[in-house]
């Protein structure tokens, strides 16, 4: 049972990441609670609430060159109607014909609302050496 929930959350989270890569706002919005909060490097240390901040980036369009997102070493913790999914996000891209990979740590919090998992908070940080 727990394995099923973990697999469901990992699949949802992967779809969320893929929607970001494709700039698929419809899917992203469907997965997110409208009051979602986040800390991410783009917000330069500020806690952002709501989706408009994120919408800005979707307007810029999706990846135009090959792009692939992997959740490395994912961990899922379900606490009733709340789940924490954390992993290192590997972004593979190609620029000027050269493939490269970048890595960021992400924690994403999901809440089951009326039987549907909604994304309610995330924290992304760039690894330091």
**Residue 122 binds to ligand GLY (criterion: CB under 6 A):** yes
Of 9, 12, 13, 20, the residue at the interface with ligand GLY (CB under 6 A) is 20
User: What is the C-alpha separation between 28 and 115, in angstroms, rounded?
Assistant: 18
Q: How far is the CB of 3 from ligand GLY (least distance, A)?
A: 25
Residue 111, phi then psi, degrees to nearest 5: -130, 135
Indicate the residue among 76 and 121 with the shorter CB distance to ligand GLY: 121
The answer to whether the beta carbons of residues 118 and 33 sit under 8 Å apart is: yes
Minimum CB–partner distance for residue 122 and ligand GLY (Å): 6
The nearest distance, CB 115 to ligand GLY, in angstroms, is: 23
First to last CA, the chain: 38
Q: Using CB under 6 A, which residues numbered 48 to 67 contact ligand GLY? A: 54
* Cα separations in angstroms, 87 against 51, 105, 122: 22, 6, 12
Is residue 117 close enough to count as binding ligand GLY by CB under 6 A? no
d(CA 104, CA 126): 5
Which one of residues 12, 13, 40, 120 is an interface residue with ligand GLY (CB under 6 A)?
40
Q: How far is the CB of 54 from ligand GLY (least distance, A)?
A: 4
3-state DSSP percent of the chain in helix, strand and coil, to 5: 30, 50, 20
Residues lying near ligand GLY in the complex (CB under 6 A):
20, 40, 54, 122
């Amino acid at each position: 049972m727990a394995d099923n929930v973990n697999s469901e959350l990992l699949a949802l989270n992967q779809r969320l990441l893929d929607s970001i890569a494709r700039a698929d706002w419809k899917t992203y919005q469907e997965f997110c609670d409208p009051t979602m909060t986040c800390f991410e490097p783009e917000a330069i240390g500020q806690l952002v609430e709501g989706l408009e901040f994120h919408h800005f980036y979707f307007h810029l369009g999706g990846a135009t060159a090959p792009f692939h997102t992997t959740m490395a070493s994912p961990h899922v913790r379900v606490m009733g109607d709340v789940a924490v999914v954390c992993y290192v996000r590997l972004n593979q891209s190609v620029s000027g014909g050269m493939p490269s990979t970048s890595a960021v740590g992400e924690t994403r919090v999901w809440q089951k609302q009326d039987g549907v998992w909604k994304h309610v908070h995330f924290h992304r940080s760039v690894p330091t050496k």
